[in-house]
Amino acid sequence: MKYSEYGRTGKLVSAVGFGGMRFDMEKSLAENAGLVKYAFDKGINYFDTAPDYCDGRSERIFGLAFKNMPREKFFVSDKLMPTLVNDAQEAYDKVRSVLDLMNIEYIDFFHVWCLRKMEHFEMAVRRGALYDGLLRCKEEGLIKHIAFSSHQKGNEVEKVIESGKFEGVLLGINILNFPYRRPGVLAARRHGLGVVAMNPLAGGLIPQNENNLLFLCSPGETPTEAALRFLIADENITVVLNGFTTREHVDTACRVAENAAPMTAADLERILRSLSENSLEICTSCGYCEVCPKGIPISKYMQIYNDKVLFNVSEADFAERLGFHYNWGLLAEDQPGAENCIACGKCEDRCTQHLPIAERMKEFARLKKEK
């Protein structure tokens, strides 16, 4: 395993981090905690969670695992969203209660979570709000470092960094969206922040579409391995979070980390040439948009739309695939369809990829009518 310093904190973190958002919910908490310990034994020392991951079970799973791990040998990352915390006192109370839940006395890296626009940053740092609560936690030793996670464009990420309030940043970057996300990574490095990459496999889209993504690989590797290598070998990125479900996932990431050679300029040029112009507009299945007043299963529709965005399928083929999904696939259950969209914009307001969801719903509704 490769280790490097997280920003200027003096902490040596593993290049592969454990993202706690994809535990196997068919398994017990104890079985999942066993996966955490397995990863630790393979050299992973950075563990990332959040209150809502896995229906609130992620922090509990880590808590169970941490009971059997020497506290001085691993780092914990957690988060709170400015839109869901009313004031500094609430932030402070929430940190205290999650420490109890995870059986630890401090959290190493605590994030102001999910900045999508500057308004969220301003909300977090307003006097008496989330950031002040985290500062109090830091003064009392409950938090060691304050970081932020962002789904903003590079120039906005840089503005947040320039505030001087943070020691690290968590960014959604992968081999498919890097032209859009990389400026944020470079800005963070210039300012000496730790950089953690989330979503390295585009929410599972890369492993699920390996046959269409062979242009990502060098000889002897799979698209999934290429996507991991792309980030792990990047010296501007400190930790690459992987949402592990199985031991095989852990093994793959650790194997890639052992031999990760950076992509060459020629590799990157080939990849850029093969990515469609729209490939930045992919849905990563994060689910943050699921607030539809009409009950439309938005992320299912957007996952289907990924095919169109990534692989340039014709409208006729796309309509055919859609028909399959209505009959057998993601949309087969009885649920409100795209034609019910009233373009209220609530989902777009929360979409981490800034997708034009209402416009796409219109397209889905039209294709359904034409069928």
Residues at the site binding ligand SF4, with contacts judged by CB under 6 A: 283-289, 292, 294, 296, 298-299, 302, 341-347, 350-353, 355, 357-358, 361
Distances, alpha carbon 199 to alpha carbons 18, 69, 251, 364, in Å: 12, 26, 18, 26
Q: Rounded to 5 degrees, what angle do the CA atoms 49, 152, 310 make? A: 90
CB burial of residue 144 (10 Å; 0-12, 13-18, 19+): middle
The least distance separating ligand SF4 from the CB of residue 304, rounded to whole angstroms, comes to: 11
Closest by CA position to 198, among listed 157, 170, 231: 170
Least separation in angstroms between CB 240 and ligand SF4: 19
Closer to ligand SF4 by Cβ: residue 9 or 150 = 150
Whichever of 331 and 351 has its CB closer to ligand SF4, that residue is: 351
Backbone angles phi, psi at 80, to 5 degrees: -140, 140
Q: Closest CB to ligand SF4 among 235 and 334?
A: 334
* Nearest alpha-carbon partner for 85 in 137, 123, 142, 56: 123
Complex with ligand SF4: residue 16 or 54, whichever CB lies closer: 54
Smallest distance, Å, CB 338 to ligand SF4? 8
- Pairing verdict, β 3-5 and 12-14: antiparallel
Nearer to ligand SF4, 196 or 309 (CB): 309
Nearest-approach distance from CB 8 to ligand SF4, in angstroms:
32
Cβ count within 10 A of residue 233: 18
Nearer to ligand SF4, 154 or 337 (CB): 337
- Shortest Å, Cβ 256 to ligand SF4: 25
Smallest separation (angstroms) from ligand SF4 to the CB of 284: 5
- Interatomic CA distance for residues 164 and 278, integer angstroms: 34
Residue 69 and residue 45 in contact, taking contact as beta carbons nearer than 8 Å = no
